[in-house]
Structure formats: C-alpha cells, structure tokens
Amino acid sequence: MSGQDATQQNQIAYQLTQYVSNDSLEYIYRGNVNSAIAENILCLAENNIGQSREKILIRKRIYFIMVECLQNITRHQEKITDRKNDNEGLFIMRKKKFAYYITSGNLIKNDTIDSLKEKIEKINNLDAEKLKEYSRQVLDNGTFSSKGGAGLGLIEMARKSGRKFRYEFVKLDDEYSFFYLHLSIPYNKIQTQDEDPEEERKEYDLWSVKDIIKFHKILTTNNILLNFNGVLKQDNLKNLMSILSRQITTSKVLKTRVYSTMIEILQNILQHADNKEETQDGGNYGMFFISEEQEHLKLTAANYIKNEKIEKLRNLIDFINNTDKEKRQQLIRNGESGHGFATLVNKSHHPLEYSFTPIDRATSLYSITIRLEKDSEIDDNAS
C-alpha cells in the first residue's frame, strides 16, 4: 500500500469515527442483511440496550422498531438480485441526550415510491388515536401484500415511537432509488413532538436524514463492503464476528485469512483501546471496515488511545514492520510484546499502515490498515 493509499484509509477512518464521536451508543452497519445477520445485529444492539437505564417498556419499543427496520431491508434484498453492488442494507442506531434514533436504508424500485410515500404521509398526518384506529382497520380488512402488511409495520412503528417518520428517496437510475427511513424514540416518555421542550426539538432537527446520506456516501464512494461502528464487549464479539464472516464471499483460503485477521484486530480493540469519555457504559468503542480494490482487500480498524501511550505503540509497530520474518516468528512463538502485530504482518505480507490523529489534549484516534492480496493462496498463520 502506498503512503497516499494509507493516508486515504486513515482519513476515511477518521471521518467515520467523527460522525459518531458525540454519541453514548452507536451501531452502524452497512452490508448484506439476511435473517441470520439481522439476528446478530439485534443481539449486538440489544446487549447494550439491555444494560442501559431505560425502562423495560422503552426497550421493548426500541427492539420492535429495530426488528421492523431489519425485516424491511431483508424483504427488499430478497426481491432485488440484479443490483448486487447497490443492494447493500444500511442500519444505524444512535443514542443522544433525549432519544434513540434508528435509521434503515435499502434499494427499492422507482415504481413503488409513490405508494410507499403515500403510506408514510398518511401515517405522519394521523394523531395517536387515529393511528390506533387505522391500525385496527388494516387488521380487520386483512389486506396483506408480498412485502408484508398493508403498511401495518409502519403504523406500529409510528405508534410505538410517538414520532413522525423522516425519509428520503435518492434516485440511482431510471429503475432504482435508495430509500432512507428515519425515526426517533424518546427514552424518558412518549409524547407528541409538539410537546417536546425546545432543546429536545433542536436535537431532533440536528440529526437529519441528509446527514445520514452524507455518511452513507462515504461508504459507497470508497467501496466499503462492510462497516461497523460501535461499542465492543467480550460477550458481543461472537455476534459481530458472525456478521462479518457471513459477508466474506471470497475463496476459502482468503476467507480464513480475513476472518483470523479480523479476530486479531477486534481482540486488540477489546484489550487495549481507551474510551474518549469516562462515562462510556462498558466495553470499548471500535470502528472496523473492509474495502475492496482490484487486487486487494483492505481491513481498517480504529479506536481511541490515550496520548501518553502513542510513542510506545508507534515504536513497537515500527519495530515489527522493520524486522525480518524469522524474528517475527520468534516473537509469536514466545508470546512476546508485539506478537499480535507480527501475526498481522505475516498474514498480510506487507507492513502495517497506521496513524494517530489528535482528538483532544488527552486522546487521539489510532487507526491501522492491513492489506490482503485476493489471489494469494498462501495462509501464513505464523503459528
């Protein structure tokens, strides 16, 4: 990887991390969504929500809306099979001061936009009592389509959140558009938006769909096959690894190398990352993405680190990058300091690319990129 390529990767990591830097909880996922992956995403998110202070009723509402969003993505991905590069789902959950914000995104056909928009606008124009009545009417009529109930999922999402939908359709070509659906769930109470205090309304206005579209564009422009931003804990690492492994559709040898490399990176975040805020509720923040080039897959991870640790870490990585394979093998066999980095270099057959970007006086963002050649049939496990 050239210095320019490495710098670009680290800049992307910084952009993605800054996007969520002020949240107390965030899960951002872009990639294929099927029933198995949806279940893992739900487990990851529920693991953190379940440990929060929100009341049980609010947690149930959040979980219901997450399920509906992920099911909606899955249904559309099953129907659209001829646009693989564009047909990647987007799921975002963030917790701000007053509410959770959940966003889903998926590819849809242009000829379905008008009917979908009509459903959403009808729901947005109904108050709580009329929504309840409308929900009963849809159930009584028993009208269901191949995509699920006749707007019943949308109706129930609106009822459980007490909020109006925000949405956008971004046209891709004459046949397809990308559909963004955005909803907030206040975690102190359910009320109408007209009753919100001014500070709460300002927060809702700041977290816009247009902001999400800008973030999504970073992912698509850089051909990021999979992205995860969130709080990592030992007990949810299994779910994350399951999601990541299902996304890798390369040769068996390369898939093994990618999977083992991801484990090494994520374990490093769990063990060594620092949190920017002392109030972080367990676990460590981590960001991970895989991007694709013609000849390589690039795995990039980032986490926060205290500034006083930078010099020692920089020296260690430089030492590993500049030592020979025999010395790296010795470090790995003896379990010496740096053996994890040595393993990564042996798997990649290229030096590790890294950067430290200052965040504040105490903290920096540490990012590292590992490049794996697609056509390599050699798996140097360095065991």
- Tell me the pLDDT tens digit for each residue of 149-163: 457 889 999 999 888
pLDDT bracket for residue 129 (50, 70, 90): very high
Tally: H helices and E strands in the chain: 13, 12
Cα dihedral 345→351→353→356 (10° resolution)? 80
pLDDT of residue 195: 55
Report whether pLDDT(364) > 60. Answer: yes
pLDDT bracket for residue 182 (50, 70, 90): very high
Comparing 257 with 192, which gets the higher pLDDT? Answer: 257
Domains, the chain, with CATH or none: 32-207 (3.30.565), 237-373 (3.30.565)
CA–CA distance, 50 with 256 (Å, rounded to integer): 33
Tokens of 220: 């698509």
pLDDT bracket for residue 48 (50, 70, 90): low
Does residue 239 come out as left (phi exceeding 0), alpha (psi in the -120 to 50 range) or beta? alpha
Contacts of 185 (CB under 8 A, 6+ apart): 58, 61, 62, 65, 99, 100, 101, 102, 160, 161, 162, 163
- Which range is least confidently modeled, 68-77, 147-156, 296-305? 147-156
Q: What percent of the chain has pLDDT over 70?
A: 79
pLDDT bracket for residue 25 (50, 70, 90): low
- Tell me the pLDDT tens digit for each residue of 204-242: 666 678 888 888 888 888 888 777 777 777 766 777 777
- Tell me the pLDDT tens digit for each residue of 232-244: 777 667 777 777 7
Report whether pLDDT(169) > 80. Answer: yes
In whole numbers, what is the pLDDT of the chain averaged over residues? 80
Closest to 189 (Cα-Cα) out of 82, 58, 94, 289: 58
Q: Does the predicted TM-score (pTM) go above 0.75?
A: yes
